[in-house]
Amino acid sequence: MVTLSTSMVEGKDGESVADLGLLYQMKFGVLAHDVDDLWSGFSREDGVDLNIEAVFSPAISILGGTIRPALGGSINTEGDTSKGYLDLLWQYNFTTGFFLVTGVGAAIHDGRRHATTPAKKALGSRVLFHIPLEVGYFISPRTTFSIYFDHMSNAYIADENEGMDTLGARFGYVF
């Protein structure tokens, strides 16, 4: 069954906090950049990514979870590939306080499209698929801590497709 809702978090007098605006949650994280031995298989780039993500209030409830749009970005601290992304995220909240998030979307990056140096990934196209996976815990009704992974690649639509993975931790604030 699919139903339309705006939030699962209630404020004073039972009013939905998300009804007060478009923003549902903000997330901030520190991620290891271009991690070895994950989906893309190898690493060429270095550094740490600073990540920020806005998850918006309009939601669709489906399969026990909630789908929401998200807009985010990661800036690499070493001057390697940075990215911005737009996703549809599906979040399932367990009764224990844990939650699971996955999704699909598109990313745009400032990295290399073609192999011109061995120190940079050849990502094949400027716009890539973006696939996030997150496992976390509600520290309180408004704050979360999570382990976050994302992968971006062109899914072999272009000849070069080295892909890139990030892995790290994020804190979130639910409005």
Number of helices (H) and strands (E) in the chain: give both, helices first: 0, 10
- For residue 142, pLDDT beyond 70: yes
Give pLDDT, residue 42.
78
What percentage of the chain exceeds 70 in pLDDT?
A: 89
Average pLDDT over residues 10-22: 55
Q: Tell me: the pLDDT tens digits for 91-123?
A: 999 999 999 999 999 999 999 888 787 778 889
Q: What would the pLDDT profile of 24-41 be if each residue is shown by its tens digit?
A: 999 999 999 999 878 877
Map out the domains of the chain as residue ranges.
Answer: 3-174
Confidence of residue 19 (pLDDT cuts 50, 70, 90): low
> What is the fold, at CATH topology level, of the domain defined by 3-174?
Porin (2.40.160)
